[in-house]
Structure 1
Amino acid sequence: MGTGTAISVFVIIISVGVHQYNPFLIPTLLGKGLGYTRVAHRLFTDAFDKATNYLYTNTGIDLRYEREDEFYSKQKPEFQSPAKMHKSYAKLLLTKQELKQYDGTEGSKGLYVAILGSVFDVSAGKDHYGPGCSYHFFTGIDGSRAFVSGDFSETGLTDDLSGLSNKDIKGLWKWVEFYKNDYKYVGKVIGKFYDSKGRKTRDLEDFYSRLKEAEKEEALEDNEKKKYPPCNVEWKKDKGTRVWCTPNSGGISRHWAGVPRKLHEPGTKNSRCACVEPKTAVEDPNLNEYPGCNPGSDSCWIKDSDKK
């Protein structure tokens, strides 16, 4: 079938397919009843999928699309999908091999980056993502893991998220938000996070479950930091480590500076320096003075062995 014929068939399918969104025309065409309407919707939708994929395969004209799944409609605004954020319901659905054709090299189809299965056009940032530029290794692939691991080797640039901590999961989501806000969303990549119909996979569902856990953990950590603001810290080779407190230390603004204390995390061997009010420093059993430091001073030099 030639290009002209393929386009003609495609236009016919579109013309008929338009009716799938009109609840009055479908019963007219195929008989009354909601059941017929649903059957017609599925038939037209599947036909549309096949036609667009055929058109792309045989002519290079890329009009494939994906539909939003119901998952995102149930999420909080910050969990909305890139497609939802960009109010776009007619985007590309690429295989990994097809995505490789968008690496910005000579003869390529464009400059795309994929993260968590969502594909973004980063042509506006070609000075960063173009061939020979700092972040070119992210183009034409889904290298989600590398955004938080810092491993930009061939094995590190992968969509495998196994073994990542909840903090890594939250960090990865911040990168997704960055691309949603700064670049154009163009579609999805078939594989780890979306199936051949553009529907979310179990891996993507697991990611969002982990993200919710990470949000809860972060909220608890924020509350703990407000109660026990982190100390300012500096290190000098000849003197060791200095910890000190100010009304803004740890990024927590307050009306008091406090005194530095070693805060032990209950149930673990971990500890950190926290700024606390003198009364709290005496009453809280999880707080200890640093050896050799004035208990009432807001600054103290400590040995590395005393930090543990």
Structure 2
Amino acid sequence: MRTPSLPPEAAALDFAALELLRVVHDSGSFSAAAERLGVNQSAVSYTMAKLRGCFGDPLFVRQGGRQVATERCQDLLERSGLMLAMLEDMARPEAFDPQGSTRNVAIACNYYERVLLIPRIVAAIRQAAPRMTVTVINALGDGHQRLLSREADVLVGPFAPSEAGFHSRRLYVEEYACLMDPAHPAADGPDLDADGYLALNHVLIQYGPAWRSAYLQEIDAAGHVLTPAITVPSPAGLDTLIAGSDLVATVPRRLGARNAARLVLRDCPFRGQFDLRLGWASHTNASAMHRWLRDLIWQAGRG
């Protein structure tokens, strides 16, 4: 049985053309893609014309000063991304020497991890691989997308993507507690119950529209409503805000414990336990360097 031959246009394609498609998408223009690839803009235009002829689609349309991908292009980007990831895995050497490596590794995380875990992780990397460099980027609420786009090598945080193509490993279990000034009426005495807790003057840390803390989910599930006195976007500076006031913030226990010398940490009736996890994308699963990095972070980050 004969194997069907490819159309002439498809046979002329190569992985470099598919990579160019991704770079144009990420850059937003042909000129920016040419600069990023170190080629003339005419070379980008020529390859794009070849791709358009092959797939029978404009692939990009200009909107608001940017090249915006068509639906057909988005589909091609997803499929070619898998192909390029497989090729990358095939070409990647199996051995990895941390002592001699000069690679940069990117870790996606947020405030909690930057304060509690990143110093330990960076110290472990520098000890084992003194010539490697580290970039820490914000995970925000879409850290798994940063893995997929190759912005980050690993993700550290309370994330457990359920989509195919991702893996994760639990570092430890965390829970929420109440942080308050030592002179606060609730700083001493019996444990807080739900009514007493909800009646406090709360500082709510609103991390973003895509994230709702586990203790708030527990409050919702119990049919209660928490009405904050103050809302802030991050735990940064929380100790200064709370000290000498009647305000109470509900924070992850390990983060709150860093202020034990100045503030009081009490049990919260809505503990909202969650897993702190190490996550990565499937395209790095077999990489020797990434396996080394994940093992090192797991050892350094367990709490």
Class of the TM-score when normalised by the shorter of the 2 chains:
under 0.3
Query: Please, what TM-score do these two structures have when normalized by structure 2?
Result: 0.24
The structure, 1 or 2, with the larger RCO (C-alpha pairs under 8 Å, 6+ apart) is 2
Query: Please, what TM-score do these two structures have when normalized by structure 1?
Result: 0.24
